[in-house]
Amino acid sequence: MSDATLLLPIANTAFARLLRLVTTADWERPTPCDGWDVRALVNHVIGANRRHTMLLHGASAEDTDATRSVDHLGADPIGSFVSTSAELLAAFAEECALARTAHHPAGDRSGADLLGMRLLDVAMSTC
């Protein structure tokens, strides 16, 4: 078990806490990420949870890239985040998950690399 394995649930909890504060009027507000409003940022975080789960389960870079234009928020953005976070944490907890090779669009990565990427992404999104 790595430090990131312990820290990702903490980052997820912080992100979910902030997501619960988002009102209807907030979705179109800008973020520090150029060209992304709150909706785009949250959609990216939820979509990345799905993509990383797919990668850990052997999906191709092309299959995961195809999900980038999908609306991952649905009718319940908080529920979508919570469920995709739980699915991803379960995938990271699978035997040898951190040692697996995933075919990420930016090149092959280990499961441990994917874990570090998710931790950084979720933690940075709470700023």
User: For 82-98, how does the pLDDT look when each residue is reduced to its tens digit (9 = 90+)?
Assistant: 999 999 999 999 999 99
What DSSP letter does each residue of the chain carry, written as one string? Answer: --HHHHHHHHHHHHHHHHHTT--GGGTTSB-SSTT-BHHHHHHHHHHHHHHHHHHHTT--HHHHHTTTTS--STT-HHHHHHHHHHHHHHHHHSTTGGG-EEEETTEEEEHHHHHHHHHHHHHHHT-
Is 112:2 a contact under the CB 8 Å cutoff?
A: yes
Rounded to 5 degrees, what are φ and ψ at 19?
-60, -35
Instruction: Return the residue matching tokens 């319940």.
Output: 76
* Domains along the chain with CATH numbers: 3-125 (1.20.120.450)
The pairing of strands 107-110 and 101-104 is antiparallel
- Write out pLDDT tens, residues 40-82: 999 999 999 999 999 999 999 999 999 999 999 999 999 999 9
pTM score of the predicted model: 0.94
Q: What is the mean pLDDT of residues 111-122?
A: 96
